[in-house]
Amino acid sequence: MNEIKKIFGRNAQLVVLVYLIRNRGTTTYLSGIAEETGLSHSSVARVIEPLLEMNIVKEGKMGKQIRTFTLNEDNDVTTLLIRFYDDLNKVLRD
């Protein structure tokens, strides 16, 4: 996250997006994202909505109340974001 943060600054939506990219292929939930990122539960709930609307993130249900989330790697925008993230990290490490 440090390289991305240096370029774009730190905001909750970027923090959540980077977390999901780093943990792609796994399913998580709001409290898990909040705990891992240091954001509040309400902040994660607020910033995940635009990512859901753009289909970057997929939502599922666990039981009746727990919302689960995973990065939608079938989405073209998501694919570009992952490629950008990986390429940027590679360039900045060299």
Q: How many structural domains is the chain composed of?
A: 1
Residue with tokens 């898990």: 32
Nearest to 48 by CA among 72, 65, 26: 72
Q: For residue 21, what pLDDT is reported?
A: 95
Question: Which distant-in-sequence residues (6+ apart) come within 8 Å of 26 by Cβ?
Answer: 70
Q: What is the CATH number of the domain that holds 78?
A: 1.10.10.10
Q: For residue 29, what pLDDT is reported?
A: 93
Domain assignment of residue 42, given as a range: 2-93
Residue with tokens 């970027």: 14
pTM of the model: 0.86
Q: Is 46 exposed, middle or buried (0-12, 13-18, 19+ CB in 10 A)?
A: middle
Per-residue pLDDT of the chain (94 residues; tens, 9 = 90+): 566 666 666 689 999 999 999 999 999 999 999 999 999 999 999 999 999 999 999 999 888 888 999 999 999 999 999 999 999 888 888 6
Q: For residue 73, what pLDDT is reported?
A: 95
